[in-house]
Amino acid sequence: MKVGGGVVVIVASLMSIIAAFVTLGVGGAGAAFGGEGGETVIGLGWAGLFLSFVIMVMGAASIGAKSKIPPIAVIILSLVTVIAGGTLVAVFMVLSILGGILALVGVNQELNMQG
């Protein structure tokens, strides 16, 4: 379960990186044409892009995790990204949250088997 959860997190973060670039493009087009709030959308895109990269790293760390810290970090960062990353990125962060929960359950199972 731990490996599957980590893979789900990595796939979700890759898709959210693409969504962040789309958000940046929409925000850039809005700002170029003088649309209201274009700069805000650009900020959401950058936040989503940065946090998606961090979540990808934590998802990779969750695959080989011996503690609960990486999966919990994935869940917390995904929730922050839902708030700060914009609508398109938030859609894929739901999948990342599920992957973090799977990885957390896998780590719990391993820890229970050891002692």
What does the pLDDT look like over 31-49, one tens digit per residue?
888 888 888 999 999 999 9
| Spatial separation of the C-alpha atoms in residues 62 and 12, rounded to whole Å | 14
Residues 73-110, buried b or exposed e (16+ Cβ, 10 A)? bbbebbeebbebbbebbbebbebbbbbbbbbbebbeee
Q: Is residue 39 part of a domain?
A: yes
- Domain of 72 in residue numbering reads as 2-110
Domains of the chain: total: 1
Q: How confident is the model at residue 7 (pLDDT cuts 50, 70, 90)?
A: very high
Q: Is residue 13 part of a domain?
A: yes
Q: Longest Cα pair distance anywhere in the chain, in angstroms?
A: 62
| Spatial separation of the C-alpha atoms in residues 65 and 63, rounded to whole Å | 6
Q: Is residue 100 part of a domain?
A: yes
